[in-house]
Amino acid sequence: MTTGLCVRPILASGLVAIASMVGAQAQDPSTAAKDEKEKLQRWDRQFQESLSWYQVSAGPDSSSTMKPQPVLRWTNAIRSQKGEPTLIFWTNAGRPEALASVYPWSGNLIWECVSLSRDRGLTAREGGRTVWAPRSAGVTFRDVPDAPIPAETPSARLQQAKLLSERFKAALTNLNADGSGREELRLLPKPIYRYELSQAKAVHPDLIDGAAFAFVQGTDPEAVLLIEAVRRGDKPTWQYAFGRATGYLLEARLGPSVVWTAPGVNWSDPSQPVLSLGRPLVD
């Protein structure tokens, strides 16, 4: 009996020690960090694979599809974003036709797709099935008031485009649950995409040059500004158009005037210029 009484405390102490070791192991920061790193690596591999999920063409009868191009990797601490979300452009002969914000959320890899097309006809397929066919244009171009004549050289035109982009301001306008709240967005100082003019000339003979700029929260793009130098007959001029990259309401201003607004949208209607696609994350 004496021996039995002695064994019990020793056994109990051993179990406590094992439990403590297991608990400590479960809470080991280095183990948690390693697991998180491996998860993010799996997500990144899935992101690379996802670039082939959707085949996007400029028109329903087009025999060729546009290659998705990552143009910006971003973070958003305000929304506790994990992974490395990415902004994608699809371009037709060097000119943007659509974008997608790609990010992990609630167990899925989300593709928020937005048309930047000047006309209807944009089409996306998945496994041969049409999943997105907007019935209207995605953007509307307007002349930039009091803009200079487009310069002769690409470097000078880029400088002009940057100065023109700085004339605009953009803001989120419904940050709170009751629809109130406003946040001015930051314009990234460099374009996130420069039009590929060597490809554009044959397909877009009116196009002289172009660049895309992003208005961001953190580094998360919320609105995209397209600025183009184009010919109208013998007269070159600058024009602009805004596209959304978020589900929030947006507003853009040029000086004191509101020149663009983005209202609430339905991300589940494939006939609209915006659509949310995606698949479950690999965990």
Q: Give CA 4 to chain center in angstroms.
A: 68
What is the distance between the alpha carbons of residues 15 and 18, in angstroms, rounded to a whole number?
A: 5
Burial class (CB in 10 A: 0-12, 13-18, 19+), 100: buried
The two tokens of residue 108 are: 């899925």
Identify the pLDDT of residue 10. Answer: 31
Which amino acid, one-letter code, is at 177?
A
What is the distance between the alpha carbons of residues 5 and 8, in angstroms, rounded to a whole number?
A: 6
Interior CA angle at 99 toward 94 and 100, to 5°? Answer: 140
Tell me the whole-structure pTM to 2 decimals: 0.85
> Average pLDDT, stretch 141-169?
98
Which amino acid, one-letter code, is at 140?
T
**Better pLDDT: 86 or 26:** 86
**Better pLDDT: 201 or 212:** 212
Phi, psi torsion values for 45, nearest 5 degrees: -65, -40
Q: Give CA 99 to chain center in angstroms.
A: 7
> Taking all residues of the chain, what is their mean pLDDT, rounded to a whole number?
87
What is the distance between the alpha carbons of residues 103 and 214, in angstroms, rounded to a whole number?
A: 17
> What one-character DSSP code corresponds to residue 66?
B
Q: Is the pLDDT of residue 231 over 70?
A: yes
**Better pLDDT: 238 or 43:** 238
Confidence of residue 183 (pLDDT cuts 50, 70, 90): very high
Coil/strand/helix, residue 253 = strand
Do residues 175 and 181 lie in contact, with contact meaning Cβ atoms separated by under 8 Å?
A: yes
Do residues 57 and 68 lie in contact, with contact meaning Cβ atoms separated by under 8 Å?
A: no
